[in-house]
Structure 1
Amino acid sequence: MSIATVTAPTSAPAVTFTRTKRGGNGSNPTTEYSALLRTVRDAGLLTRRRGFYIGMFAVLTAALGAVGVGFVLLGDSWFQLILAGVLGLILTQFAFLAHEASHRQVFTSGKANDVAGRTIANLIVGISYSWWMTKHSRHHANPNIIGKDPDIDRDFVSFTETDAAKARGLYAWATKRQGYLFFPILTLEGLNLHLHGFRTVFGRGKVDKRWLEAVMLVTRIGAYLTALFLLLPPGMAFAFLGVQLAVFGVYMGASFAPNHKGMPILPHDSKVDFLRRQVLTGRNVKGGVLMDTFMGGLNHQVEHHLFPNMPRPHLKKAQAITKQYCADKDILYTEATLPQSYGIVIRYLNRVGLSAGADPFDCPAATAFGR
């Protein structure tokens, strides 16, 4: 049987699913997912790969140390900005490791994963682990569901036409062009992620290990800024910090954006079984080992959502099983190349952005026809 695959949809309209009890082939949805999970487990794909993660951590730590040595040796030189960009790449790779620890992919012990993830996220990357866990857990449970998935909540970018229509003035002008502005905007995402961390640990909401994270974040930013402004002139220090944050933000956004943006948006009250909810709202990115490394395994987004505690090295094998299973069950499985994925995201955001500044009393049908 051929595999049902979509390579480059141009847009993703909101879709209402009413399936509640039975799958498309008449089988029980819970049983369908259980059968797939059992197949994957029997293939040994849920076993931990500690050696892989220890090796990745060692390589990244060595790379981080090399950047530190180079930073000291270069001194007052604008070549430091090259190191700043490299540092942004390395910190993103560390963020991938923290993400995988948060999903229990590294160790069998939940506590060990939390210790590793919290240490890497707060002390090395500079992002609150508790903030990330809360936000990301909600996303995994409700991908692309309006009002439940924080990743599609209105921010500078609007992911639904309803949110885009709220934009006014200069914001409306930018929203209409948000697809083209998306990657330039990501240069500020690194700063945004750090600010979210500090707002979380010093805010009023409930935070697991609040004071430990606060100490880690303050220690990390204090040591980092002290090194920059102690060894570099102020102008160069600010430039170094700006380049590092810009590269980090673009790399993070470029890794997470292709996975769900431009895929179906589900209504708040939609009833979709777990298997279809995860497959229909996710998009895989084609590629081999280099793509796995570049995106930290996020290119296997469908499998990551179906089996969130699966180690990165096993996702490729799980993909073959999942694609065939979805084909047998007539469940649409979507994948595209990285350039195609970025194109889908840009076109989708621009289409949504056309609603910016719209009169709430406009006739929706007439507005759509006018577009």
Structure 2
Amino acid sequence: MDRRPAYYALRIAVVTALYVAGWAALVVIGDSWWTLLDAVFLAFVFGQVALLAHDIAHRQVFRLRRATEVSGRLVGNLCIAIGYGFWRDKHTRHHTHPNNEELDPDIHPSVILWTQGQARAAQGLPRLVAPVQAFLFFPLLTLEAFNLRLGSIRSLGDRSLKDRGWEAGLLGAHFAAYLGALFLALPPGKAIAFLLAHQCLFGIYLGSVFAPNHKGMPTLRGTDRTDFLRRQVLTSRNVRGGRIIDILFGGLNHQIEHHLFPSMPSPHLRRAQAIVRGHCQELGIGYLETSLTESYRQALASLHHAGAPLREARTT
């Protein structure tokens, strides 16, 4: 549970260098379609910034609350335009009630439906999408970055949001700097192409990191009284892999350990895994760990299963 200041100092330095390099490359390459390669690179970098913001919000990096909040807003609001307060509130509710149909905002019905019960009650666009949502899941992830920005902006209207002025100012500064850089460095057509490529790929990266963690795992309801250990372990899935997977996922491939110990620094999750897995085996609690491709297969199979009632209704 000890903090890792040297690790996070190095990680912050590396991510900052990549972030600066990505924007410098835009200026250096200039008016050329080769800038779309830089858009791909910056999509990865924005994902790494988001994963760093995740660790900061969980107080894995700084001991003091004020340092956590200031750095979280700088990294989240200013660097990638995802509201720190909006995301922290949403993510805290997810950690408290993972995969709970009524209480986990990550599986609230939207365009995507997560259970057959949600499918039966669906109306409008979700009802049209649900029968084929497994095939549309990854294409729809192209909209996830835009969805998070929209949620961040909407949250500014909530008077309970702490430091709304700072949140709004930093979001505005990001949008002004981002759009200014694109339209100063590129003609309008290329600037729009860069923006779409960058943001769509950023959304796919975020969704691809978070989808294997809980999608396709058992769901709960508000009336369930499952104890903490089972609630966190049975609704989470780990993804096998080495250091490359750890880097791509920011350590969240060890999702079970992260849910049991949210403030544990991400490089320690791999070390905790053997202890947690052994303890679960002793208690007879299912501990699921799969390959990356199998995690996606299970998630997509679950989405396909959720849409079954509407496919059957169409057939009838």
TM-score computed with the length of structure 2 as normaliser? 0.96
Say yes or no: does 1:232 pair with 2:232: no
Tell me how far apart the structure 2 counterparts of residues 314 and 274 of structure 1 sit (CA, whole Å).
21
Structure 2 match to 1:343: 297
Per the TM alignment, residue 169 of structure 1 is displaced from its structure 2 partner at its CA by 6.2
- The structure that has the greater radius of gyration is 1
1:108 aligns with 2:63: yes
SS of equivalent to 2:310: coil
State the alpha-carbon separation in 2 of the partners of residues 354 and 94 from structure 1.
37
Q: Which residue of 2 aligns with 1:28?
A: none
Cα deviations by residue, 1:33-59 (Å, 9 ceiling, x for unpaired): xxxxxxxxxxxxx00001111111111
Deviation for aligned residue 1:268: 1.6
The answer as to whether partners of 2:110 and 2:126 remain within 8 angstroms in 1 is no
Match of 1:273 in 2: 227
Q: Does the aligned pair in 2 maintain the 1:165–1:357 contact within 8 Å?
A: no
Partner residue, 1:296: 250
Q: Is the 8 A contact 2:112 2:126 kept in 1?
A: no
Q: Deviations over 1:300-319 (max 9, x none)?
A: 00000000000011000100
Residue by residue, what CA displacement relative to the aligned partner does 1:229-281 show, whole Å, maximum 9, x if unpaired?
11211110000000110111000000001000100011220001111110011
Q: Which runs of 5+ in 2 are unaligned?
A: none
Asked if residue 259 in structure 1 is aligned to residue 259 in structure 2, the reply is no
Q: Which amino acid aligns with 1:258?
A: P
Could you list the per-position Cα deviations for residues 104-151 of structure 1 after superposition, in whole angstroms to 9, with x for gaps in the alignment? 101122221222112100000110000001100000000011211111
Structure 1 partner of 2:20? 65
| Residues 88, 244 of structure 1: 8 Å contact kept | yes
1:339-371 CA-partner distances (Å, limit 9, x unpaired):
000000111101101223777xxxxxxx9xx99
> Which residue of 130, 134, 148 corresponds with 1:193?
148
- The equivalent position to 1:74 in structure 2, one of 7, 29, 39, is 29
Q: 1:11-48, CA deviations, whole angstroms, 9 ceiling, x for partnerless residues?
A: xxxxxxxxxxxxxxxxxxxxxxxxxxxxxxxxxxx000
Query: Counterparts of 1:139 and 1:171 in 2: how far apart (Å)?
Result: 22
2: distance between equivalents of 1:259 and 1:123? Answer: 27
Out of 143, 146, 153, the position equivalent to 2:108 is 153
CA distance in 1, matches of 2:102, 2:128: 25
State the Cα distance separating 1:168 from its structure 2 match: 4.6
Whole-angstrom distance in 2 between the partners of 1:70 and 1:136: 33
1:174 paired to 2:120? no
Aligned equivalents of 1:110 and 1:256: distance in 2? 26
Letter in 1 for 2:57: S
What is the distance in 2 between the residues matched to 1:169 and 1:128? Answer: 29
State how many pairs are aligned: 316
Letter of the 1:287 counterpart: G
In structure 2, the partner of 1:207 is: 161
Gaps of 5+ in 1: 1-45, 360-366
Q: Is the 8 A contact 2:113 2:126 kept in 1?
A: no
Any idea what SS the aligned residue of 2:288 has?
Answer: strand
1:249 aligned residue: 203
Q: Does 1:143 align with 2:107?
A: no
Does the residue aligned with 1:211 lie in a helix, a strand or coil? Answer: helix
Among 129, 151, 158, which residue is 2:84 paired with?
129
Is this contact kept in 2: 1:85–1:244, CA < 8 A? Answer: yes
Residues 192/169 of structure 1: CA separation in 2 closer, same or farther (3 Å cut): closer
What is the 5 A alignment of 1:81-120? 81-120=36-75
Question: Normalized per residue, which structure has more helix?
Answer: 2
Cα distance in 1 for partners of 2:126, 2:83 equals 29
- Matched to 2:121, the amino acid is K
Matched-pair contact (CA < 8 Å) for 1:165–1:358? no
d(CA) in 2 for partners of 1:62, 1:211 = 29
Of all paired residues, the percent bearing the same amino acid is 45
Whole-Å Cα distance in 2 between the matches of residues 146 and 124 of structure 1?
A: 32
Deviates more, 1:210-219 or 1:59-68: 59-68
**Is 2:76–2:83's contact at 8 Å kept on the other side of the alignment?**
yes
Match of 1:9 in 2: none
Alpha-carbon shift at residue 167 of structure 1 (Å): 3.4
The separation in 2 between residues aligned to 1:205 and 1:182, in whole angstroms, is 34
Q: CA RMSD in A?
A: 1.7
CA deviation vs aligned residue, 1:163-192 (integer Å, no higher than 9, x gap): 112335664332101111100000111111
Name the CA shift for 1:312/1:171 in 2 (closer, same or farther; >3 Å).
closer
Contact 1:64 1:87 in 2 (8 A): yes
